[in-house]
Structure 1
Amino acid sequence: MSKFEVIGGRRLKGELVPQGAKNEALQVICACLLTREEVVISNIPEILDVIKLIDLLRGMGVKVERLQKGEFSFRANDINFDYLETEDFYSKAASLRGSIMILGPLLAMHGCGLVPKPGGDKIGRRRLDTHFLGFEKLGATFEYDAISGCYKASAQKLRGTYMLLDEASVTGTANIIMAAVLAEGVTTIYNAACEPYVQQLCRMLNAMGARISGIASNLLTIEGVESLGGCQHRCLPDMIEVGSYIGLAALTRSEITIKNVAIPQLGIIPDAFRKLGIRVEERGDDLYIPRQEHYMIEDFIDGSILTIADAPWPGLTPDLLSVFLVVATQAKGSVLIHQKMFESRLFFVDKLIDMGAKIILCDPHRATVIGQNHESQLRATKMTSPDIRAGIALLIAALSAQGTSVIDNIDQIDRGYEHIDEKLNAIGAEIRRVD
Structure 2
Amino acid sequence: MSVQVTNAHVQKLDRQHVFHSWSVQGSLDPLVIAGGKGCRLWDYAGKEYLDFSSQLVNTNIGHQHPRVIAAIQAQAETLATVAPAHANLARGEAAKRVLSHAPAGFEKVFFTNAGADANENAIRMARAVTGRDKILSAYRSYHGSTGAAIAATGDPRRVPNEFSRGHAHFFNPFLYRSDFWAENETQECERALAHLKRVIECEGPGSIAAILLESIPGTAGVLVPPRAYLEGVRRLADQHGILLIFDEVMAGFGRTGRWFAFEHFGACPDLIVFAKGVNSGYVPAGGIIISETISRHFDERMFFGGLTYSGHPLAMAAIVATLDAMAEEGVVENADRIGNGVLASGLSRLTDKHAVIGETRGLGVFHALELVSDPETRAPLPAAEVATIKRALIDKGVLPFVVENRIHVVPPCIVSEAEVAEGLAALDAVLGEASARLG
Query: Given the two structures, how large is their TM-score scaled by the length of structure 2?
Result: 0.28
| Bigger share in helix | 2
Structure with more strand by fraction: 1
